[in-house]
Amino acid sequence: MSKKRGHFETAVIHEGYDSKNMLGSLTPPIFQTSTYTFETAEQGERRFAGEEDGYIYSRLGNPTVRILEDRIAVLENGEKGLAFGSGMAAVSAVLVALTKANDHIVCSSGLYGCTFGLLSMMKEKYNMKTDYIDMKTKAELRAAIRPETAVIYVETPINPTMRLVDLEMVAEVAKEHDIPVVVDNTFSTPYLQRPLELGCDVVIHSATKYIGGHGDVIAGLAVGKQSFIDLVARTTLKDMGGVISPFDAWLLLRGLKTLPVRLDRHCDNAEKIVEKLKKHHNIAHIYYPGDKHNPDFAIMEKQMKRGGGVISFEIKGDKKCAQKLLNRLAFMKIAVSLGDAETLIEHPATMTHAVIPAETRGEMGISDQLIRLSVGLEAWQDIWSDLEQALNQI
Q: Does the footprint of ligand PLP cover residue 188 (CB under 6 A)?
A: no
Q: Which of residues 330-349 bind ligand PLP (CB under 6 A)?
A: none
- The 3-state secondary structure of 127-188 reads CCEEEEECCCCHHHHHHHCCCCEEEEEEECCCCCCCCCCCHHHHHHHHHHHCCCEEEECCCC
Nearest by Cα to 183 from 170, 192, 227, 172: 170
Q: Does the footprint of ligand PLP cover residue 86 (CB under 6 A)?
A: yes
Which parts of 241-380 are beta strand (E)? 283-287, 310-315, 333-334, 344-346, 370-374
- Pick the closer one to ligand PLP by CB: 115 or 294: 115
Which parts of the chain are beta strand (E)? 80-84, 104-108, 129-133, 149-155, 181-184, 202-206, 220-224, 283-287, 310-315, 333-334, 344-346, 370-374
- Pick the closer one to ligand PLP by CB: 42 or 216: 216
Kindly state the smallest distance separating residue 237's Cβ from ligand PLP, in Å. Answer: 14
Peptide bond preceding 147 in cis form (omega within 30 of 0): no
Q: What is the DSSP letter of 309?
A: S
- Pick the closer one to ligand PLP by CB: 69 or 184: 184
Q: Does the footprint of ligand PLP cover residue 248 (CB under 6 A)?
A: no
Q: Does the footprint of ligand PLP cover residue 136 (CB under 6 A)?
A: no
How far apart CA 88 and CA 214 sit, in angstroms, is: 19
Strand pairing category for 80-84 and 129-133: unpaired
How far apart CA 281 and CA 361 sit, in angstroms, is: 26
Q: Does the footprint of ligand PLP cover residue 92 (CB under 6 A)?
A: no
Q: Does the footprint of ligand PLP cover residue 159 (CB under 6 A)?
A: yes
Q: Does the footprint of ligand PLP cover residue 212 (CB under 6 A)?
A: no
- Pick the closer one to ligand PLP by CB: 271 or 346: 346
Q: Does the footprint of ligand PLP cover residue 240 (CB under 6 A)?
A: no
Kindly state the smallest distance separating residue 142's Cβ from ligand PLP, in Å. Answer: 26
Residues touching ligand PLP, count (CB under 6 A): 16
Q: Which stretch binds ligand PLP (CB under 6 A): 10-18, 132-140, 203-211, 275-283?
A: 203-211
Q: Considering only residues 71, 104, 209, 372, which one is a binding residue for ligand PLP as defined by CB under 6 A?
A: 209
The set of catalytic residues is: 59, 112, 184, 209
Angle at 194 between CA 154 and CA 197, to 5 degrees: 100
Binding mask 165-184 for ligand PLP (x = CB under 6 A): -------------------x
The residues that touch ligand PLP, with contacts defined as CB under 6 A, are: 86-88, 112, 114-115, 155, 159, 184, 186-187, 206, 208-209, 218, 220
